[in-house]
Amino acid sequence: MDGNAGLVRRGRLDTITGMRFVAALVVFLCHAATFNFVAPDTGVGDAFHFATESAGTAGVTFFFILSGFVLTWSARPGETYRGFLRRRMFKMYPNHLVTFALAMALFAAASTPPVSAVLNVLLLHAWRPAPGGGNGPSWSLSCDLLFYLMFPLLLPLVKKIPVARLWRWVGGVIAVIMVLPAVAQLLPSTPRFPDDFDGTMLEGVSMYPFWFLLTFPPVRLLDFVLGILIARIVLSGRWTGPGVAQAVALTAVGYVVGLFVPFYYTLDAVSVIPMSLLIGALAVAESRGGASWLGSPVFRRLGEVSFAFYLIHEIALLFVRSLVGFDHHLPPFTALLVIAAAFALSLALSFLLYHGVETPVMRKWAGPRRTAPAAGAVPAPASPGERPDDVGEKARPV
């Protein structure tokens, strides 16, 4: 623990848990827009697409930063590297395998090559600059896998940084992320996504730069490291960032800016500053006893199932779209009702997945935390009773 960590109450982060569901809802709306329930060439359809176009990319930045933050916040000395990975894998893999099998059974088997299917199951598909097949949202779990493998190695290194220099390191990581869109444009400009792909922002976009900036795990590891640094700043009592209201306002401004900046900057660069400040501000406010409607029992419960919601929501949207007909568009109000039905289906399935798969598997096979001697110990998530580590299980956009 940092020398000044006593300045901050290191407990549950219920507000951030509730915020996960808000972010998941935004991701859902982003994906709902891509299914064109409303004709895309109408005023309402165009407005829906435009308003949600950068929601998914902002959401993935938020959750990758949050992952590093929460694992650092909940880290305790004593758990072995193997024990840490065991808990993380049993948290992530069962939901992934169930939703992968469901996606393949319902719609993806015919369009997913065997190699892509194998890579998807192994969570290696984001390392490859091509659509992975299976359940689309699972690409981000490839990044999670790298994060979990690296976290016990990264945190000791970050802890060696003097607390007075942490903000400089944050600035350095952000500067690298800001430069990467220019670097990505040096990659091959072909192949490109088809002109009718996804119906939105990916039409005609070069595949290699898109893959490099959005899904390539080593690049997204920068967001994760940024979360570790922000957590150390908060825990050390060195937070000099904005309060919650100012951070929310900055996030809103950043979101609007993301609708207008060049495309490759929307994939990560435009979001890292506001999302980092928002996460830090929320954690500081809650650690000092601040209350929020996001930390209410209802939103905390919704936040707990948001990881399952993330993995299941695109399958539910595809199912509802197939019932409507992929070539059939709806009047705006009817489309709103259909999208609401898809959301209700997603939420119901997420509760089934959480209670029927995720929780029983964790209880039965994740095992107790096994400690090692101090010299060989690595950081570990908090105990199940504290549950701050659960905040780090994310819902992310495709």
Sorted by where each begins, the domain ranges of the chain are: 5-392
Q: How far apart are CA 63 and CA 73, in angstroms?
A: 15
What pLDDT is recorded for position 10? Answer: 67
pLDDT at 9: 60
Residue 100 has pLDDT above 70, yes or no: yes
pLDDT in tens, 61-76: 999 999 999 999 988 8
For the residues of 150-198, what is the DSSP string, one character each? Answer: HHHHHHHHHHTS-GGGHHHHHHHHHHHHHHHHHHHTTS---SB--TTST
Between CA 268 and CA 310 the distance in angstroms is 19
- pLDDT at position 379 over 50: no
pLDDT of residue 200: 57
333-to-34, 37, 45, 114, 329 alpha-carbon distances in Å? 17, 10, 12, 41, 12
If DSSP codes are grouped into helix, strand and coil, which group holds residue 48?
helix
- Which is it for the CA torsion 212, 63, 218, 90, positive or negative? negative
Task: Quote the pLDDT of residue 396.
Answer: 42
Read off the tokens for 337.
Answer: 């009702």
How confident is residue 131, by pLDDT bands cut at 50, 70 and 90?
low
pLDDT band at 196 (very low <50, low <70, confident <90, very high): low
Q: Which tens digit of pLDDT belongs to each residue from 280-336?
A: 999 999 988 877 889 999 999 999 999 999 999 999 999 999 999 988 999 999 999
User: pLDDT: is 385 or 183 the higher one?
Assistant: 183
Are 292 and 201 in contact, with CB atoms under 8 Å apart?
no
The tens digit of pLDDT for each residue in 220-238 reads 999 999 999 999 999 999 9
Token pair belonging to 51: 């308003």
Report the mean per-residue pLDDT for the chain: 87
Q: Residue 394's closest CA among 203, 182, 148, 134?
A: 148
pLDDT of residue 370: 53
- Output the pLDDT for position 388: 35
More reliable by pLDDT, 119 or 388: 119
pLDDT band for 204, please (50, 70, 90 cuts).
Answer: confident
In the numeric block, which tokens belong to residue 47?
């407005």
Residue in 287, 353, 316, 299 with CA at minimum distance from that of residue 97 = 353
How would residue 367 be classed by pLDDT, with cut points 50, 70 and 90? low
pLDDT at 75: 87
What per-residue confidence (pLDDT) applies to 125?
93
Is the distance from CB of 310 to CB of 137 less than 8 angstroms? yes
* 89 pLDDT above the threshold of 50: yes
Please answer whether residues 380 and 369 qualify as being in contact, where contact means their C-beta atoms are separated by less than 8 angstroms: yes
Q: Look at the block and give the residue holding tokens 């400089």.
A: 168
Residue 270: per-residue pLDDT? 95
Q: Is the CA virtual torsion 288, 291, 297, 303 positive or negative?
A: negative
